[in-house]
Amino acid sequence: MSDILPNDILVDIAGNGVATVTMNRGEVHNAFNEQVIAGLTDAFRQVGENPDVRVVLLRGVGKSFSAGADLGWMKKMAGYSYEENVTDAMGLATMLRTLDECPKPTIAVVQGPAFGGGVGLVSACDIAVGVETATFALSEVRLGIIPAAISPYVIGAIGERACRRYFLTGERFSAAEAQRIGLLHEVVASDALEEAVARVVKGLTDSAPTAVTAAKELIRAVARRPLTDAVVRDTAERIARQRASAEGKEGVGAFLDKRNPSWRS
């Protein structure tokens, strides 16, 4: 992999437009500290702004996807003032927002357990595929804290009802339960993970790139908003812009001509 950031975070951009962001701290279960959070923020910005990138994969090395907060980082936070804690928490919040708002489709490749902030990362990705042996927990309350920075993304992924259980109990749950409540889209055997990810990647790269970005923006514009005249008008304007774009014309033309569109060939 191309190491364009500190060794804790690796970024590789393949010739097919698939960028892989890897948390490379397997010895501590890919736990976060300030440096890891800053590195992930930079990585998500870089791949999001790169015109050659079509899809972003988020991975962790070793046995775990991510264990959340690093123990050393937590010890430092224990001595912070309120103001220092706000500044520190804003780093995590900014990183998650950068991932959530990445204009390229993002896939969490969950090869092992994800706890706390690791669940936040999975939730902030557009698509999540995990192995059947993965386990999950939002265990912050057991440490006397709350999953605040990750909450917009986790609530968006699994809904208020599931959060009322798992935010409050801090209990672990299985990959099957994660799929049932919406955290994972697909659960597979460990030896089938790469095949499943490749299938999702193909579905994304078979789609028109600017249309995929526009579809992501559409979800943010419409989700959890009342169906007002302004929202209806906004959706009409969005489809009109896409239909009138060069990519929209190429896609419809290719369909009518029974040929592959330019981005697929």
Active-site residue numbers? 140
Query: What is the DSSP code (8-state) at residue 13?
Result: E
Query: What is the DSSP code (8-state) at residue 259?
Result: S
CA distances from 69 to 102, 115, 131 (A): 23, 9, 22
Strand, coil or helix: 252 = helix
In this structure, are strands 127-131 and 186-188 parallel, antiparallel, or unpaired?
A: parallel
CA distances from 17 to 5, 50, 240 (A): 19, 10, 27
78: region left, alpha or beta (phi > 0 left; psi from -120 to 50 alpha) = alpha
Residue 168 and residue 214: Cα distance in Å, rounded?
36
